[in-house]
Amino acid sequence: MVKERSLQSFIDGIENLPTLPGIAIRILEAVQKKEPDIDEISDIISMDPPLSAKVLKLVNSSFYNLPTKITTVLHSIKMLGLNTVKNIALSFSLVNNYQSKKSNGFDYTCFWKNSLVGAVSAKLLTEKLSPELLDNAFFMGLLQDIGTLTFGHCMPAQYNLVLSEMEKTSSECQDAEAYVLHREHRVVFRNDLL
């Protein structure tokens, strides 16, 4: 088990947490509108040449086998569909921004992918169960495990012990955090910091 760290050390580390890449945030904001504007999304993606190339490469791949070559992001979105392009864009953006940050053992790409799944799930559930809360559902889902990011970033060596405990015992994340760190990531943000 690991010696407890002070609340102040967590607070100090929060200022330096890695963020979701700017282009990913802009894409998320654009697609979350009631009526997403394909031109706006095309413009956002077009500002990132590697991302644009990835989208164009996919639409022109043998998988789609289109009769003519697609040369614009806007046309690609129309051919592939908004959801496909959004997923490509977010995945590409996240992987490129975080693949170099695995040196401390924390998988930032996996964290953000899981956060996006939680955000989409929260939005879909809220649409069905409490539509009056829909405005904040996506972002609350996106931030549901922000305590994990804090642990992984602010105390990487200790959090690697949590990951090892999970692998060794097949325990749930919160159980491994409680055993190794004497607290779990949701408690840190719900009780300690609020």
Which domain does 68 fall in, by range?
A: 7-192
pTM above threshold 0.75: no
Q: Is there a domain that residue 1 lies in?
A: no
Instruction: Find the CATH number of the domain harbouring 165.
Output: 1.10.3210.10
Side-chain half-sphere exposure of 62, counting CA atoms within 13 A: 0
* C-alpha distance across the termini of the chain, in Å: 26
Residue 2: inside a domain, yes or no?
A: no
Residue 57 inside a domain? The answer is: yes
Instruction: Please write the tens of the pLDDT for every residue from 127-158.
Output: 899 988 877 777 778 778 877 877 777 777 88
Q: Where are the beta strands (DSSP E) in the chain?
A: none
Q: Which of 118, 110, 176, 124 is nearest to 143 (CA)?
A: 118
Count how many domains the chain has: 1
Asked whether residue 138 is assigned to any structural domain, the reply reads yes
How does pLDDT run across 2-36, given as a tens digit for each residue? Answer: 444 555 665 566 556 655 567 877 887 888 888 99
| pLDDT above 60 for 78 | yes
